[in-house]
Amino acid sequence: MEEHRIHMIIQMMGLLLFALPHYSDTLNLNLVNFTEFSGPEGSFFGFSADFYQFSNNTISVVVGAPRANTSQPGVTEAGAVYLCPWAQTGGACTTMTFDTKGDEVYPHQNLGIRSSKSHQWFGATVRSSGNYIVACAPLFHWNVIDVGKRDEAQNTPVGNCLVLNTLTGKTVDFSPCKEVMTEKVYKALKYSQIISAGLLDIVNSAKRQNAKPYVTGQTHSPETDYVVGVPNDRNTAGTVKIYNGNAINFLGVKHTFLGSQVASYFGHSVAVTDINNDGRDDILIGAPLFMERVSGQQLQEVGQVSVYLQRERSTFHSKPDQKLTGSHVYGRFGSTIAPLGDLDKDGFNDVAVGAPSSGVEGRVFIYMGTSNGLSPQYTQVIESPFQSLGSPAQFGFTLRGAVDIDSNGYPDLIVGAWGVNKIAVYRAQAVVMAKTQLSLYPDFLNPDVKECERPTTNEPVACFTVMMCISVSGHSIPQEIDAELQLDKMKQPMARRTQLLQTNLPQEYFQLTIQRDVGVVCRNQTAYLRHESEFKDKLSPIFISLNYSLSNSNSQEALLHGQRAVVTQTRIILDCGEDNICVPDLRLTAEAGTDRLLIGDDHPALLRRTEERGAYETELEIIPPTNIHYQSMVTDRELQAGLFFSVGNLEEVESQVKNSQNPDSNVAHLRIDVSAVAALEMRGGSSPPECVLPIAKWEEKEQPADLEEVGPLVEHVYELRNLGPSTVNARVEVEFPTRHHGDFLLYVFANASEDFLTCHTDSPDIDPYQLVKTGNATVGTVYKVKQNEVARPETQRKGTVHVNCTSGDTCLKVCLERGWSAVVKVMSRLGYRLSW
């Protein structure tokens, strides 16, 4: 066989159904907007499918439904072929007319021949070529009867294919297995079915020399070779044979591929395509029942596809150049293999592999072609979009590709799911290859060179030009590209150091229109460096990024491949010499503004200075002693104060910190003597300042019933104020006379009291007659301060603290900060009996 091309021929006879699962997720196939066609319930619509091109170049889909009922008289489930005119939204399919007759009986010499078309599975295989469509019925039966010898062939499955000329509507039978032999002749012949028997039956059938089911292929080139799969050959290890198509009378075997595992059904599916674009066709062979050892040496059925790359002089290696193994147990990976053509226009043909039992409903895997063969990992997976309530969908049992159904220049894919009587047509999106150039002028930013003005303020600023160019290539590419320019991308939006001159924003979104005959579009933007007072970081690079994507109107019709973003950077020129490398000489000194620090007074001044080159992002860390709290900072420079954290283990992030000039930090220790000084001021008064006795119309009561009957109200108020500067814990004691010669001088009673200070008394003479009544408008809220009772302090509040302590011997404890005061109020009644 010379270096010519090998293709596949249609499946003819002897093929029986078996559903296998399939995976799905593809390269540039549009998995969302697929087109769906449906057939009659239970017809197995989608068991086979192919593209069909009419003479006017419009393309439709022909679909086999081997269990569909037809109008043929006396025939049950003869099977049918449907024509589905393609439209993006789908549509109805119509039955194609191949055969309208029922079972036929006709004589042949002294024999009688009877055909049986019920359950013949017509449409199990469908292929189209030019104006012809071939559909086969692998279970077509006929019976040869020899009346004279009382012998017959019985109902024998010989299979039959009908070739339809779509221009004339005429059909021709093709059934090379039809014979006029009777039962005696057939007794020596044995037949088996593809993946239709159990494992034990498969192994046993291998002992029969004649049990060789075939899968065949054909090329359309002037020189035709045939690839034939024999899954039951070599004790069910399987073989695939290449037959010489140049032979006139006999097809000689030119090469044989050997399966490596018994009962793996090596050769059940075969595909031919040039994967690595070397001008020679390569062969892919499926073994859907291949078993692989997993952990614990347990065998699991996962399926496998072997890839054989054609070498020079039409030779192949004895072992596959590549093996693709399924990852789902019982997924039947490799049940179908379909060449897809060059999906993404990268110069290499791609391949689809069906696993119709994977993931319950089935999946299809898409592999990209490369110069070395297929990609080791699938590029896309197509999950079944069909959910079945009964049997699995068998999505991926049928695959057909390499035809452009929507005329966009990219090949499309048909996936059949006969378990739900549906097919799905996945269209390939146009692939746009893009390249971008992003450059800046000038390369570095000099803050002192201000050649631009901000439009709104006319403020001179240092500026630079961002130059962007995008080039695209491909077939049927869109013209609109959405782009996003980001300045100083690594910073937070409010901390970015550069902005666009026209908008004062660090980013811009815009759309570019690319003329297809040119393929390139460029755009420039002017940006500027913000004033140095608006940011801190002058050392790190300023990253400029350009991201782009297809516009929303084209995103469903095309797919962007290749470069989607580009980043460049610039730096700020520093006052660090010609090399722009700063080597600062930091020297830190510290001194106190006073010999002694009074608590609450101003802090001492801390001074720092730098010499030599500029020092950027310098940090000053002040560590106060324990129990000393940071309050505020005063500086003659614009500085930031905050907390500093260590970065942890730098080796974990492969980073380093280096200071080759002076590896030690500048440390200054400052000793400050601390004293606490506070000036307290005490003031007091009586209300009323004096009492005039006797009181007119006063009647003395031996046993007063309320406070009015005791005597006039006398109220003493004392205020303690802290003039600072330090905070003090003050204790105020009030000695208050309550009795004179055993009688009440001042009758003390309770009144409202603040709850955030400590106030207590040792005197028992507090309202001994129990004259204070709840709800008394004069007294207000009643709270008796009893002996040694302490109120819970609350959060201190700055200002005057009012405390109504009622006691003959009152004591107040309070914490007073600078400017705070505490007020003590003692309320009593003047004893009228003693007063006069």
DSSP labels, 276-323? SSSSS-EEEEEETT-EEE-GGG-EEE-BEEEEE---GGG---SS-SEE
> What's the confidence (pLDDT) of residue 598?
75
Asked if 40 contacts 68 with a C-beta cutoff of 8 angstroms, the reply is yes
pLDDT of 308 > 90? The answer is yes
Q: What is the DSSP letter of 111?
A: E
Instruction: Quickly state the pLDDT bin for 575 (edges 50, 70, 90).
Output: confident
> What's the confidence (pLDDT) of residue 403?
96
Per-residue pLDDT averaged across 240-251, rounded?
82
**Percent of the chain that is helix, strand, coil (3-state, to 5):** 5, 40, 55
Per-residue pLDDT averaged across 778-807, rounded?
41
Give, in order, the Cα–Cα distances in Å from 551 to each of 94, 344, 393, 525, 560: 39, 19, 36, 21, 10
What average pLDDT does the structure give for the chain? Answer: 79
Show Cβ contacts of residue 16 under 8 Å, excluding neighbours closer than 6 positions.
121, 124, 138, 139, 193, 194, 195, 196
- pLDDT tens for 764-788 read 667 777 787 765 544 433 333 333 3
Instruction: Quickly state the pLDDT bin for 267 (edges 50, 70, 90).
Output: very high
Instruction: Quickly state the pLDDT bin for 833 (edges 50, 70, 90).
Output: low
Angle at CA 411, nearest 5°, toward 87 and 283? Answer: 135
Least confident of 229-243, 580-594, 704-718, 748-762: 748-762
Q: Which residue has the higher pLDDT, 653 or 427?
A: 427
β-pair type (444-445, 565-572): parallel
> What's the confidence (pLDDT) of residue 128?
95
Asked if 26 contacts 51 with a C-beta cutoff of 8 angstroms, the reply is no
Per-residue pLDDT averaged across 449-463, rounded?
94
pLDDT of 204 > 60? The answer is no
Angle at CA 308, nearest 5°, toward 303 and 310? Answer: 165
Domains of the chain with bracketed CATH:
35-428 (2.130.10.130), 431-572 (2.60.40.1460), 588-655+666-675 (no CATH), 678-835 (2.60.40.1530)
> What's the confidence (pLDDT) of residue 775?
54
Type and span of the H or E element at 729: strand 728-735
Cα distance from N-terminal residue to C-terminal residue, the chain? 146
> What's the confidence (pLDDT) of residue 251?
78
> What's the confidence (pLDDT) of residue 616?
63
What is the rounded CA–CA span in Å between residue 214 and residue 14? 8
> What's the confidence (pLDDT) of residue 447?
93
> What's the confidence (pLDDT) of residue 631?
64
Read off φ and ψ for residue 444, nearest 5 degrees: -120, 155
Asked if 435 contacts 514 with a C-beta cutoff of 8 angstroms, the reply is no
- pLDDT tens for 323-364 read 999 999 999 999 999 999 999 888 999 999 999 999 889 999
Q: Which residue has the higher pLDDT, 751 or 582?
A: 582
Among 223-232, 378-387, 739-748, name the most confident range. Answer: 378-387
> What's the confidence (pLDDT) of residue 6?
39
Least confident of 4-18, 240-254, 358-372, 608-622: 4-18
The two tokens of residue 436 are: 């971008």
The two tokens of residue 754 are: 């603040």
Percentage of the chain lying above the pLDDT 70 cut: 75
Asked if 162 contacts 173 with a C-beta cutoff of 8 angstroms, the reply is yes
Least confident of 261-270, 708-717, 804-813: 804-813
Instruction: Quickly state the pLDDT bin for 638 (edges 50, 70, 90).
Output: low
Burial 589-608 (b: 16+ CB within 10 A, else e): ebeeeeeebbbbbebeebeb
Instruction: Quickly state the pLDDT bin for 18 (edges 50, 70, 90).
Output: very low
Least confident of 230-239, 683-692, 801-810: 801-810
What is the rounded CA–CA span in Å between residue 81 and residue 48? 9
What is the rounded CA–CA span in Å between residue 357 and residue 417? 11
- What 3 state SS string does 3-26 have? CCCCCCCCCCCCCCCCCCCCCCEC
pLDDT of 8 > 50? The answer is no
Read off φ and ψ for residue 680, nearest 5 degrees: -110, 145
Angle at CA 544, nearest 5°, toward 538 and 548? Answer: 160
pLDDT of 379 > 80? The answer is yes
> What's the confidence (pLDDT) of residue 215?
42
> What's the confidence (pLDDT) of residue 167?
92
CA Rg value for the chain: 50
Instruction: Quickly state the pLDDT bin for 807 (edges 50, 70, 90).
Output: very low
Three-state SS at 799: coil
> What's the confidence (pLDDT) of residue 778?
42
How remote is the C-alpha of 266 from its chain's centroid?
39
Instruction: Quickly state the pLDDT bin for 562 (edges 50, 70, 90).
Output: confident
Asked if 408 contacts 432 with a C-beta cutoff of 8 angstroms, the reply is no
> What's the confidence (pLDDT) of residue 655?
37
Show Cβ contacts of residue 794 under 8 Å, excluding neighbours closer than 6 positions.
755, 756
Q: Where are the alpha helices (DSSP H) in 455-496?
A: none
